[in-house]
A and B are shown apart, each in its own frame.
Chain A
Amino acid sequence: MLAQVATFAIDGVEPRPVWVEVDIRSGLPTFTIVGLGDTAVRESRDRVRAAIQNSRFTFPQSRVTANLAPAFLRKAGPGFDAALALAVLAASGQVPAEALARYAVYGELSLGGELRDSPGALAVAEGAHRAGLERLIVPCERAREAALVEGIRVVGVASLREAAAVLSGREPPRPTTSSPAGAATIRTEPDLSDVRGHELPLLALQIAAAGGHNLLLEGAPGTGKTMLARRLPSILPPLTRAQAIEVTRIHSVAGLHAGGLISARPFRAPHHTVSASGLVGGGTPPRPGEASLAHHGVLFLDELSEFQRTSLDALRQPLEDGHVMVVRGQRVLELPTRFMLVAASNPCPCGFAGVGDRCCCGEVDLRRHRRRLSGPLLDRMDLLVTVERPQERELRAPPLTSSARARERVLAARQRQQARLASAGGGCNGEMDSRLARRHVRLDRAAELALGAAYERNALSARGRHRVLRVARTIADLDGRDRVSAADVLMAVSLRQRDLAEGSLAA
């Protein structure tokens, strides 16, 4: 007897259809699995056999061969267990094979026959929907997540026994609901209203959020750089449903999330010892890196100068293109990486430049520090802001703003940008190249003079000028103005990331 059931392998964050074929014929009792599986797949033989027997089915006492097709695709992980077991049961006539044909099955089995929580169910549901399958069996912990995909019926089951009952129509599938719409508005993120003082960084956060500008926070240890960066997601526009599904899928595949839709923008803060593949994705089997986990959210690099150069260089493509191609063996994997980059750094090796006379670094130390920071990554940073220790009277004063208020301004500014950049395919000011900036940044007369003067006097490099234009555009958007004024340009000059060419150090 031959039976076949659909399941999915997860390749990076993409589902790839896999057919589990099981053939049972007379011969010495053996159970072999072929089809390029890893160790977890090979070990699945023992799990499947025990699970079938412990679920009060019989494991066929004959020659059982299972094949995972297509044979060229490398298959990793225990997610094929349930499909293998059901295919064996179908091939031995213990569940109806024709019922199984409409289903995709995904999940790991315990020896006792329970379906265990298996990461990546959302990706599998998307794949099943794309492959035209009507129904999907997943572990019940994952049902809510898989049900986010519309147009497919998700059946969450707790055990192999329950799955068999559903297939043979003896038991109606238990109802699954995707997360209710209301749940998306419950936010537990840290709020800007916890912040006292820090007027400049708060302004910079709003500009960064409004224009999608990458931000570098500079300041002595303990001044609140990390605290501020953590609050950035709370003022970003809410995720659209499509974006939320993308985020949920990535986090589910990485095993970081189970349950409903992720509604908050992700905030990832990898430790500075992270490797290049940890940052952009890789390994065997390839897994999404921090850049992908921060997709549609914020990637925060604390102590930027401590990161390995190779790791930071690896971020170039993800920053430029919004996705990264990871090449492993013969396969190319595309992982989405559209994130906002926020970095924090000490101003000098000892960390205390600008704090009274505490700094003890020489010119060479400063130069080396700058060089460690500089390079392609810094080129992508539009804003540089110094975070100072708040004054005592500021700590006693009420908070300057709240996330709700700031977010309103940010949303309004984003809408203005989208209307303006609609012809160029949408996006935000931070993504404008120089051609778009020329077309869409309209300066008034005084602003033109101010920018011209700054450039003429060599206070701005060509790249710096472009940055100032983009940021000034965002400042005007936040204020709801169509024309960029001289004050906007000058403020952008104050907030700009200084080029090495502009020589902020002693000669």
Chain B
Amino acid sequence: MTAGTGNTAASERACEECLRRSWLVARLGAQFDFARRRGRDLPLIFDLPDARLIAAIAGAARPAVEREYDAFDPQAAAARCSAAGVETLCRCHSEYPRRLAATTGSPAVLHVVGGRERFVRLVTAETVSIVGARRGSPYGLEIARSLGRALGAAGLTVVSGMALGIDSAAHAGTLEGEGATVAVLPAGAERPYPASKRGLYRRITGSGAAVSELPPGSEIRRWTFPARNRIIAGLSAMTVVIEAGERSGSLITAALAEDLGRELGAVPGRVTSALSAGTNELLARGARVIRDAEDVLDAIFGAGVRRTVPASRVSRCSVRAELRELFDALAGGCDTLGALMGSGRSLDQTLTQLAELEVSGHIRREAGGRYVVRA
């Protein structure tokens, strides 16, 4: 099968040429790190045809790369993918996400874990990416969670990078809102990165998908992070940044989204907080102010066209009548036992009721004995 003949929707795997391209990108991994200048230029590098890419990047390794390039065995590459439980979707495929296809330097092959059809369905719907700092503050993490939750509940697909901090919180929030979410990974799609997010990875691939442009077994490199960011920006109708320092990778995603002419939003933070320097800068340059999920929906669908259902109101219905009063107090910001006890509750009863809410998954206990209302 070649690119020329075109793939039908029914075909099961990527075409030979795209597989070779994908292999080549992974093969040039080490050289890319030398070539990497600024994240914003990456799409241009990725737009080069194979031969020119080798010429531009490979350097001393060029003869070896060319030899291996000619000897590339697509059957074996495809076999490696299926052995790793990864499905492929290539640029020549009619199902290839249209939004991503429209970008410069889009990946030749998307490697998908969690079902190709589901992935295609999810990214064809309205997509929002939520990205931000790895060391998010409790404020940022909670915003990421609640945005994910509300957007997931509203039926949008939330795209992010599964990094520590904001990214993970956005994924986790979406899952709590019973929405589907797509994680774009910096290494092979079969490998949870960071490894500590294994549990989250399982839940994401259970109802959504994990994707990567790199074939299974590829290594993490510095350039794979900005390269992954270009896919996040490319897949999404809108990108929302929550907490980013001045030199955060999330700002690369934001810049790429801006270059693509997609909607860009940022959550305002304190002007004195280093973690909000990047986001506040984006706002100053004209990004949309995002205060809640409503603002995101307004940006995508037009003001007032779609409304969110406040997540806490949904979950409140499932709280037993006797526990509602306590639940409302928690949702209203009385989030530690000391604060709750202030209004004349008895300790015994409060403890049992908190346990009940915790067991039923309505609240979560965090460090410092703070109770946080979940979805």
Residues of chain A whose beta carbon lies under 8 Å from any beta carbon of chain B: 199-200, 203, 218-220, 347-348, 352-355, 357, 359-360, 362-367, 369, 386, 388-391, 450, 453-454, 457, 459-460, 486-487, 490-495, 498, 503-507
Residues of A contacting B352 in the complex (Cβ-Cβ under 8 angstroms): 486-487, 490-491, 494
B347 and A203 within 8 A (CB): yes
Residues of B contacting A347 in the complex (Cβ-Cβ under 8 angstroms): 367-369
- Chain A: which residue is nearest B204 at the CB level? A507
Given known pairs A364-B164, A507-B169, the reply for A388 and B369 (CB within 8 Å) is: yes
Binary contact readout B120-144 vs A (1 if CB under 8 angstroms, 0 otherwise) = 0000000000000111111101000
Tell which of A354, A363, A493, A495 touches B134, judged by Cβ atoms closer than 8 Å. A363
The 7 closest A-B pairs by CB, nearest first: A354-B368, A386-B369, A362-B135, A353-B368, A507-B172, A347-B368, A493-B355
A504 and B365 within 8 A (CB): yes
B337 and A386 within 8 A (CB): yes
Number of B positions contacting A (CB below 8 A): 45
A348 and B367 within 8 A (CB): yes
A200 and B370 within 8 A (CB): no
Residues of A contacting B197 in the complex (Cβ-Cβ under 8 angstroms): 507
Given known pairs A388-B338, A487-B352, A507-B171, the reply for A359 and B358 (CB within 8 Å) is: no
A363 and B368 within 8 A (CB): no
B348 and A491 within 8 A (CB): yes
Task: Give Cα A219–Cα B370 distance, bound, in whole angstroms.
Answer: 11
A487 and B136 within 8 A (CB): no
B368 and A355 within 8 A (CB): yes
B337 and A367 within 8 A (CB): no
The answer to whether B2 has its CB under 8 Å from any CB of chain A is no
Residues of A contacting B341 in the complex (Cβ-Cβ under 8 angstroms): 199
B199 and A490 within 8 A (CB): no
Residues of chain B whose beta carbon lies under 8 Å from any beta carbon of chain A: 133-139, 141, 145, 164-165, 168-169, 171-172, 175, 196-197, 199-200, 203, 336-338, 341-342, 347-348, 351-356, 358-361, 364-370
- Chain B: which residue is nearest A479 at the CB level? B348
B164 and A457 within 8 A (CB): no
Residues of A contacting B139 in the complex (Cβ-Cβ under 8 angstroms): 357
- Chain A: which residue is nearest B169 at the CB level? A506
Residues of B contacting A363 in the complex (Cβ-Cβ under 8 angstroms): 134-136, 141, 164-165, 168
B358 and A494 within 8 A (CB): yes
Tell which of A391, A454, A505 touches B359, judged by Cβ atoms closer than 8 Å. A454
Tell which of A362, A453, A507 touches B200, judged by Cβ atoms closer than 8 Å. A507
Task: Give Cα A450–Cα B353 distance, bound, in whole angstroms.
Answer: 12
- Chain B: which residue is nearest A507 at the CB level? B172
Task: Give Cα A390–Cα B337 distance, bound, in whole angstroms.
Answer: 11
Task: Give Cα A203–Cα B169 distance, bound, in whole angstroms.
Answer: 35
Residues of B contacting A365 in the complex (Cβ-Cβ under 8 angstroms): 135
